[in-house]
């Protein structure tokens, strides 16, 4: 009778001729996981930055995955690993844009740290809000909104993202204005009215570009905010 023996750690495979595997010392890590995760995050950010740039420069139709891949300097496999479809990539780029916008807004908040009266803070907050509607992220978002009108799949993917982004933008506006103004009973109405009005005026710059700081609506928005919130 033949007895079955458990395979020993030093035995090779007599059929295939494979040599026994070399055991890794217990103290040696299996892989540099931290660096690998860092590389993954870096390549993902490069792809999203490239997608945003392509949306701004070439529009939705011109923001092909091949163009984004070339601009990001990554392989086709790397791009598809992060974003299996073009619309998924562009929707993620929209969120990336919103995050960049909020980070830029936090930097601007340094100018509102102190030394401003209630009315001065209100005026400056309106100016900061208006500035965001002339930045690249706004035009990239406009490209996605326009494409979503006739693209049901993109619209379905974009809608929950835009709702979440909208909530983040409103929270950013609240930081602009500060707790004293946010507590005003008419604040939410004024904030939403300004956001909607600025978005509409900003769209006109697509065919009539000019210096946003000289827009005639700016003093109107300031006056409206002071009248309703002071």
Check which CATH number belongs to the domain holding 154 and give it.
1.10.357.10
Give the predicted TM-score (pTM) of the model: 0.73
Helices (H), 149-186: 152-177, 179-182
Expressed as residue numbers, the domain containing 137 is 38-229
| Domain annotation covers residue 99 | yes
Confidence of residue 7 (pLDDT cuts 50, 70, 90): very low
Tokens for 207, please give them: 């065919």
| Domain annotation covers residue 125 | yes
| Domain annotation covers residue 11 | no
Note the pLDDT of residue 90. Answer: 86
| Domain annotation covers residue 187 | yes
Note the pLDDT of residue 112. Answer: 59
Q: Is the pLDDT of residue 103 over 80?
A: no
| Domain annotation covers residue 27 | no
Residue 200 makes CB contacts below 8 A (sequence gap 6+) with: none
Question: Taking a C-beta distance cutoff of 8 angstroms, is the pair 86, 64 a contact?
Answer: yes
| Domain annotation covers residue 31 | no
Domain count, the chain: 1
| Domain annotation covers residue 19 | no
| Domain annotation covers residue 24 | no
Confidence of residue 50 (pLDDT cuts 50, 70, 90): very high
Q: Is the pLDDT of residue 21 over 80?
A: no
Note the pLDDT of residue 109. Answer: 64
Give the tens place of pLDDT for each residue, 147-166.
999 988 888 888 887 887 78
Q: Is the pLDDT of residue 1 over 60?
A: no
């Amino acid at each position: 009778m033949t007895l079955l023996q458990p395979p020993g750690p030093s035995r090779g495979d007599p059929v295939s001729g494979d040599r026994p595997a070399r055991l890794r010392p217990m103290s040696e890590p299996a892989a540099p996981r931290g660096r690998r995760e860092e590389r993954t995050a870096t390549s993902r950010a490069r792809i999203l930055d490239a997608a945003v740039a392509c949306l701004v420069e070439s529009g939705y139709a011109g923001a092909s995955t091949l163009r984004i891949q070339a601009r990001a300097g990554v392989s086709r496999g790397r791009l598809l690993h992060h974003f299996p479809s073009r619309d998924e990539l562009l929707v993620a780029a929209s969120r990336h844009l919103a995050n960049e916008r909020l980070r830029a807004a936090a930097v601007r908040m340094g100018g509102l740290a102190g030394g401003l009266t209630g009315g001065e803070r209100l005026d400056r907050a309106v100016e900061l809000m208006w500035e965001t509607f002339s930045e690249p992220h706004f035009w990239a978002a406009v490209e996605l909104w326009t494409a979503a009108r006739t693209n049901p799949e993109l619209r379905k993917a974009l809608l929950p993202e835009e709702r979440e982004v909208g909530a983040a933008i409103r929270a950013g506006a609240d930081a602009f204005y500060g707790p004293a103004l946010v507590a005003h009973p008419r604040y939410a109405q004024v904030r939403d009215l300004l956001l909607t009005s600025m978005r509409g005026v900003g769209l006109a710059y697509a065919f009539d570009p000019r210096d946003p700081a000289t827009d005639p609506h700016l003093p109107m928005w300031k006056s409206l905010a002071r009248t309703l919130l002071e």
